[in-house]
Amino acid sequence: MASSRRLRTIRDRLIEAEDRQESALAYGSDGQLYRGLVTSVGVDHIVLDDNGKRRFLLVGQLVGIEFE
């Protein structure tokens, strides 16, 4: 089974997005959508920068995320 061999986590993908300076659209468990450049990835959070407005989001509160 291919999925049993995968070792990457969503955090790994977020770190990659930060390195590549990618924008993301994050879906929160509160039903809100958050968009911005991935500027920081911590142990339990990410920071999205939307034209100077920085949002700190807990990874545990994300339902889904798309990268642009």
Residue 57 lies in domain:
20-67
List average pLDDT for each run of 10 residues in the chain, which is 68 residues long.
73 95 96 97 96 95 94
Nearest to 39 by CA among 67, 60, 18: 18
Give φ, ψ of 22 to 5 degrees.
-90, 150
Q: How many CB atoms lie within 10 A of CB 60?
A: 8
Residue 52 resides in a domain: yes
CB of 54 within 8 A of CB of 45? no
Query: Does some domain include residue 31?
Result: yes
Q: What pLDDT is attached to residue 4?
A: 65
Q: pTM for the full model?
A: 0.84
Residue 4 lies in a domain: no
User: Within a domain: residue 63?
Assistant: yes
Q: What is the pLDDT of residue 18?
A: 97
| Total number of domains in the chain | 1
- The CATH code of the domain that includes 25 is 2.30.30.100
* 56 falls within a domain: yes
